[in-house]
Structure 1
Amino acid sequence: MKQKQIFFHLALILCYFMVVLVRGMEVAEEADRIVELPGQPKVSFQQFSGYVTVNHVAGRALFYWLTESPQNPFSKPLVIWLNGGPGCSSVAYGASEEIGPFRINRTASGLYLNKFSWNSVANLLFLEAPAGVGFSYSNRSSDLYDTGDHRTAKDSLEFIIRWLERFPRYQDRELYISGESYAGHYVPQLAREIITYNAKAKHPINIKGILVGNAVTDNYYDNLGTVTYWWSHAMISDQTYRQLMSTCDFHRQKESDECESLYSYAMDQEFGNIDQYNIYAPPCNNSDGSSATTRRSMRLPHRPHHPMFRQMSGYDPCTEKYAEIYYNRPDVQKALHANTTAIPYKWTACSEVLNRNWNNTDASILPIYRELIAHGTRVWVFSGDVDSVVPVTATRYSLAQLKLATKIPWYPWYVKRQVGGWTEVYQGLTFATVRGAGHEVPLFKPRAALQLFKSFIAGKPLPKS
């Protein structure tokens, strides 16, 4: 009898702690709820944002912003979005000018809706990684000078584990990871970390696939494809092309001074005043007519992907400017539960400190692709075809090295009866181009990008008609 009483009391104690734990999770989730952002239109979906500490010793904490789907969010997958750089913010780009539900108006006084937001299909989690990007921070200042691919992947995995503890309703949900540019490293590397973690975890993360756009993939083939793109699109002369091909060793992480001089000559003397991230879009100009862009050395393969302002019919050319005004507003930061530790620098779209001091970078992501494909992970790679920074030729050269068998040969895919781009389905990987899109595909071709995303989530080839 006494034994039964002991078991009964132990069960009561266990139930009590379970209730306390669940209520603690609910409190933590509720504390991150965004009631309303300044100047925000009325919406029917829920939003949450805040910090997850990924390293208590160093005091590293990553900032996130979750925008749930307005229709049936509990039945839809979770998509984590990462921007590249390295050092650029997913809040600035992914959330505010690409796939998020809001756009910032010209005066940075408020927001308006993006009718092509990807949260119509999935719940979107924008992550600012690594520490030092956007609102994410570290209390150990040296972290900003020795960050690289490896720590970024491990911290991002730790973020996901801790975030799912805070939001247990997502623990069994299908998870996809997406991003662009240098996130061509982040996304596959994080997927591999998750798969390694799952092999030992009691509660594995339900990762299903990755989707990367204009992705930095392989040092040699990215560099070769970039120079080829410049020449084939008449951006550089025959002479400069030949000199680059004969002088530069595209395998190297850091090029020779002679090679760097050729790159500088090409950009300063032959490119002209163009937006390298969309070669057919005039750049955003200052009021006096001068270019608002700052020309930066593009050190291949790991080049500063600091966005240049763009101008194109139907698009606002200066959205990055508006973001840097809006997200530095104290009322916006308060609504986002951001900058709670009074970070000693302004929020910026990209961190030059991180970019200049990147500590390690994988020479090629292709071995990770092979691992993911072997594991059965859905892998899609897309490419806006008017980007000269990580161009379509670079991606095609890189993917060709996988030597995958073709399941569905090359064909044009359609959106609204127009050719959206071209695609080929391989055994284990789908490649697609987006016609007329620059480096940030959803910015320039939002309808086509949304169709591509819908097909990816459904696991179906892009429409042939």
Structure 2
Amino acid sequence: MSTFNWICNIFLIICNIAILHLISCSTSFSSDPHNQQQLDRVSKLPGQNFNVSFAHYAGYVTVNKESGRALFYWFFEADDENPSSKPLVLWLNGGCSSIAYGLAEEIGPFHVEKDGKNLYLNPYSWNKAANILFLDSPVGVGFSYSNTSSDLLSNGDKRTAADNLEFLLKWFERFPQYKGRDFYITGESYAGHYVPQLSQAIVGNALTDDFHDHLGVFQFMWSVGMISDQTFKQLNIVCDFQSFVHTSENCVKALEIADHEVGDIDMYSIFTPSCTANFSSLNHPWRRKSVGLLRRAYDPCTEQHSTVYFNLPEVQEALHVRTTNSPSKWETCNDMVNENWKDSPRSVLNVYCELLHTGLRIWIFSGDHGCCNSVTSTGTALMLLNFQQLARGALVGGWTQEYEGLTFVTVRGAGHEVPLHKPKQALTLIKSYLSGQSMPKLELVSDL
């Protein structure tokens, strides 16, 4: 991975997953919300050689008519006989497409085969616990677009929160049956900004902290022997108190040295193989579990498979993608958006405090094998909140720290994308959170 990409990834992976609980206050288009809902319904996708019992919808919601900003969504009803009894969960990926990561390789019901043309069912999809709404945000990410090219150069935290709120208001008009439903916001990576900022916008009108994320990443890299003592000291000196968004020249040089020392290691999951042309030789065939479910071995190339699949014209047609507006080539992340990010507060810990004081529940969870936004980064930042610790529990698959209104959960053996590496544990986690229960100990014994 090039030095620039590594720095960019550090920016994207600002915090792990934060989940907040709130109570909710296409090529074809119809001005009638109910008709538009039906136009957005997806029948059967290319490469879907199986049937499903749940309905799903994909399309666009315009969040700014003047500039022509439109956000792409993909919504899955709960895989349940009575989906109306289940809550609604919004998933956001930070800086990249939620379709690419959250849906296609983590918590979505459909994952992409290695050939990039076929799909298979994810037995640990979160739509087994809730109705799941994936949103590509901000404009310029995934299939989301703007008719005003300058919008891609002027994205930032404030406008993203405003656009996401506008999306939700209009989406609920299109899907009125979900008004009044218990509503949860969850996300990954730089969504550690998106999630609390959107929640704040809703109730008031896991990058949680840049400085401590810097310290935590450097400490994690050094503690597992990825960088030398000298580089560790230099990083702490020249990158001290800096934002990952706007990094000094000296800090960039130190990061280049660290990048060289790290070598060909997946920074998101340091103990799993990186995606290479020869990785297929490392793969194992399908393995049948005693519970009767089929599960594939971990594949580090899932992003490449998704890139092939979502660039297929027949797939875009099935998802009602506006090909004349969205980028000519679908990509998981948009460097233009990330390189021109305008506003990014150094910390959102104050927002978490504000939300907790309103009575909202917050869970933050982290894989302990991810270097970017490591356990040390998130844990150090949370200590600044000075909340009274109510309980601390050791789990076979990790540990938890419970504070008043906030819970921090680690998942042992998982990288940055927890549901990718530990899907069963991640499903247990969201079920526990939605039910208002602490994490069970025995559920995490089975390490699939």
Same fold (TM over 0.5): yes
Measured after TM superposition, the shift of residue 272 of structure 1 is 2.0
Q: Distance in 1 between matches of 2:159 and 2:207?
A: 18
Matches for 1:315-464 after TM superposition, within 5 Å: 315-408=298-391, 410-413=392-395, 419-464=396-441
Q: Structure 2: which amino acid aligns with 1:100?
A: G
- Conservation of the 8 A alpha-carbon contact between 1:185 and 1:217: yes
Measured after TM superposition, the shift of residue 344 of structure 1 is 4.4
- Conservation of the 8 A alpha-carbon contact between 2:126 and 2:427: yes
Tell me if 1:275 matches 2:266: yes
Larger Rg computed on CA atoms: 1
Among all aligned residue pairs of Structure 1 and Structure 2, give the percentage whose two residues are the same amino acid: 51
- Conservation of the 8 A alpha-carbon contact between 2:231 and 2:258: yes
Measured after TM superposition, the shift of residue 277 of structure 1 is 0.6
Q: Distance in 2 between matches of 1:344 and 1:424?
A: 43
Measured after TM superposition, the shift of residue 360 of structure 1 is 0.8
What do residues 232-290 of structure 1 show as CA deviations (whole Å, max 9, x unaligned)?
Answer: 1111111111222233322455333222211110111x11211111110111112599x
Q: Distance in 2 between matches of 1:332 and 1:164?
A: 26
What do residues 137-180 of structure 1 show as CA deviations (whole Å, max 9, x unaligned)?
Answer: 00010000010111000000000000000000001111101111
Gaps of 5+ in 1: 1-21, 198-214, 290-312, 414-418
1:123 corresponds to: 131
Q: Distance in 1 between matches of 2:164 and 2:136?
A: 9
- Conservation of the 8 A alpha-carbon contact between 1:249 and 1:255: no
- Conservation of the 8 A alpha-carbon contact between 1:59 and 1:140: yes
Tell me if 1:42 matches 2:25: no
Residue of structure 1 aligned with 2:239, choices 232, 248, 253: 248
Does the residue aligned with 1:380 lie in a helix, a strand or coil? strand
Q: Distance in 2 between matches of 1:247 and 1:342?
A: 42
2:249 corresponds to: 257
Does the residue aligned with 2:146 lie in a helix, a strand or coil? coil
Q: Distance in 2 between matches of 1:254 and 1:156?
A: 24
> With structure 1 as the length reference, what TM-score do the two structures score?
0.83
Q: Distance in 2 between matches of 1:224 and 1:191?
A: 27
Matches for 1:295-314 after TM superposition, within 5 Å: 314=297
Measured after TM superposition, the shift of residue 340 of structure 1 is 4.4
- Conservation of the 8 A alpha-carbon contact between 2:143 and 2:327: no
- Conservation of the 8 A alpha-carbon contact between 1:132 and 1:351: yes
Measured after TM superposition, the shift of residue 407 of structure 1 is 1.3
> With structure 2 as the length reference, what TM-score do the two structures score?
0.86
Q: Distance in 2 between matches of 1:445 and 1:371?
A: 32
Does the residue aligned with 1:433 lie in a helix, a strand or coil? strand
Larger relative CO (CA 8 A, sep 6+): 1 or 2? 2
Superposition RMSD on alpha carbons, in Å? 1.7
1:229 corresponds to: 220
2:17 corresponds to: none
Q: Structure 2: which amino acid aligns with 1:442?
A: P
Q: Distance in 2 between matches of 1:143 and 1:432?
A: 37
Measured after TM superposition, the shift of residue 76 of structure 1 is 0.4
2:75 corresponds to: 66
Say how many residue pairs are matched.
395
2:293 corresponds to: none
Q: Structure 2: which amino acid aligns with 1:424?
A: Q
Q: Distance in 2 between matches of 1:125 and 1:271?
A: 36
Residue of structure 2 aligned with 1:55, choices 64, 68, 91: 64
1:285 corresponds to: 276
Q: Structure 1: which amino acid aligns with 2:153?
A: Y
Q: Distance in 1 between matches of 2:316 and 2:278?
A: 29
Matches for 1:113-192 after TM superposition, within 5 Å: 113-192=121-200
